[in-house]
Amino acid sequence: MIAVATSLSDRVLAALSTVADPELDEPITDLGFVRSVRIQDGDVTVHLRLPTSFCSPNFAYLMASDALDALRTVERIGDVVVRLDDHHDSDRINAGLAAEAGYVGTFGVEAEESLDDLRRIFREKAHLAAMERCAAALLRDTELTVDSLRLVTLADVPEGPQKEALLRRRVAIGLGVHPDDPVVVDEQGGPLAADDVPLRLRFAKSVRISMEGNAHFCRGLLATRYGDTP
């Protein structure tokens, strides 16, 4: 096997691509939220931007904090600075990141819920959307019916990006990925009765459409605000 050397710039961008907007479940690199990357003598400074100045502060902090954590895992990297631009809480968030104060230390009494709780909520939504995409593809491409979906297991889902996404999101919320595990599951990851499958899929579809619509809307706002596109 031949090892392929990668530049620090490539590794930095790869690390940033693992950071997702928690509500949209898309990488910040794809969404255009990475404004600039500056590398000098191994030290890295990243500036982030958002579609509006009033995007939710907890989402903004989470993305900036996750970007900082991701960059610190990059091999042979020096000092790392992540800054959020043009947000009404930029100064507070940037100061909190620099001081490594954490979410509660940054926002104090305004930090109504922990970042772990926030991540859990949006990881569950991301799983719902991925589950619905796989289920919809099976209904479209096979002879399966809604009534039979409760019997479908992970082994029945064709290999490809949709299955990979579903498996990643199951792992993220603590669900199993054994080939015999059911695809369409309830809130706790358990199997569904036949009568419950249609309602579950309708709810999952509404979550997926909302996420995709919000992503499209945010891209439009970003392009309008900065005069460019991701």
Beta strands, E only, 17-79 = 34-40, 43-48
Q: CA 196, CA 82: separation in Å to the nearest integer?
A: 45
Q: CA 129, CA 97: separation in Å to the nearest integer?
A: 31
Contacts of 133 (CB under 8 A, 6+ apart): 162, 165, 166, 208
**Do the domain assignments include residue 227?**
no
Judge if 102 and 124 occupy the same domain.
no
> pLDDT tens across 154-204, in order?
999 999 999 999 999 999 999 999 999 999 999 999 999 999 999 999 999
Q: CA 126, CA 166: separation in Å to the nearest integer?
A: 9
Over 90: is that where the pLDDT of 93 sits?
Answer: yes
Query: pLDDT confidence of 229, banded at 50, 70, 90?
Result: low
Contact 230, 182 (CB under 8 A): no
**Do the domain assignments include residue 224?**
no
Number of domains in the chain: 2
What is the rounded (10 degree) CA torsion for 211, 216, 220, 222? 50
> pLDDT tens across 40-73, in order?
999 999 999 999 999 989 889 999 999 999 999 9
Task: Give the residue numbers spanning the domain of 63.
Answer: 8-112
> pLDDT tens across 108-148, in order?
877 766 778 888 999 999 999 999 999 999 999 999 999 99
Which pTM does this prediction carry? 0.85
Judge if 178 and 124 occupy the same domain.
yes
